[in-house]
Amino acid sequence: MPSEGSLWDGRIIAVAKPAGISSFKVVSRIRHACKIKRVGHAGTLDPFAEGVLVIGIGRTATRQLGDLMRGDKEYLAEVVLGVTTDSGDLTGNIIARSDLPMPTTEAISSTLDNFRGEIEQIPPMYSALKIGGERLYKLARKGEIVERKARPAFIHELELVRVNEDGFVIRVVCGHGTYIRTLAEDIGNSLGLGAHLRSLVRTRVGEFKLEGAWDLGKLTEVMSAGMVAN
């Protein structure tokens, strides 16, 4: 008789990660629910971010995650202008404010033109990148800042969705290794105001789309009950 875990072994699924928990916590919940030890994800989402998290369950599936991580990703990002934080998002401490007026829609659109195609980014301190064998975010939490070299990134699509009182929302389709918080900061700096992310939603990873992703609570409920869905 197959175990509950074997029903999910070998599957790759998309989960809609809610804001407020880490990607590791999502993996931990799924591991506990499906009773399979080897569970992994393709591309970390920060705790404040939400959206598509691709999960591999079992040895065969997790081996495929590396290739999936290199696929294109799509995001909706809400950018706040005039306020800079040490983390580049709303969870950080404010380190600078600008009194300059908000730019026009035309000025924002014109600035976005400079960020399409191949760009260079300096990885943020609050990232999972390892330097000297340690994750940058761990160093940042200890108040340490280390030198990071600029890295190439590719922005396939960059669309201004709407302009708000204090910023704007953009849709981004990008290649592997792109930091959206850095993109937001760089756009804000180009506008002379600085910026940070208020929210970030990953709407697609490769062929996995948010509208087809599992709700985390529903998924763990189904797994715990020993059921499987096609």
Residue 123: per-residue pLDDT: 79
230 found inside a domain: no
- CATH number, position 37: 3.30.2350.10
90 found inside a domain: yes
90 in the same domain as 117: yes
Catalytic residue among 9, 46, 86, 215: 46
Over the stretch 74-119, which tens digit does the pLDDT of each residue have? 999 999 999 999 999 999 999 999 999 999 999 999 999 999 999 9
178 in the same domain as 129: yes
- Sequence-distant (≥ 6) Cβ neighbours of residue 145 within 8 angstroms: 125, 139
Residue 229: per-residue pLDDT: 62
Closest CA to 17 of 222, 230, 200, 143: 200
Residue 2: per-residue pLDDT: 41
pLDDT < 50 positions in the chain: 1-4
Which residue type is seen at 31?
R
229 found inside a domain: no
78 in the same domain as 26: no
Q: Print the SS3 string covering 52-106.
A: EEEEEECHHHHHCHHHHHCCCEEEEEEEEECEEECCCECCCCEEEECCCCCCCHH
155 found inside a domain: yes
Residue 114: per-residue pLDDT: 97
3-state secondary structure of 126: coil
Note down the domain range covering 217. Answer: 5-70+208-224
80 in the same domain as 64: no
Q: How far apart are CA 122 and CA 116, in angstroms?
A: 16
Is residue 99 part of the annotated active site? The answer reads no
153 in the same domain as 123: yes
Sequential DSSP letters for 148-174: ---EEEEEEEEEEEEEETTEEEEEEEE
Residue 125: per-residue pLDDT: 66
Q: Tally the domains of the chain.
A: 2
Residue 148: per-residue pLDDT: 78
Q: What share of the chain is helix, strand, coil (3-state, %, to 5)?
A: 30, 35, 35
Which residue type is seen at 194?
G
Retrieve residue 56's tokens.
């591999």
Q: How far apart are CA 169 and CA 197, in angstroms?
A: 10
Q: How far apart are CA 127 and CA 136, in angstroms?
A: 6
User: Is there a contact between 162 and 169 (Cβ–Cβ < 8 Å)?
Assistant: yes
β-strands 167-174, 151-164 pairing: antiparallel
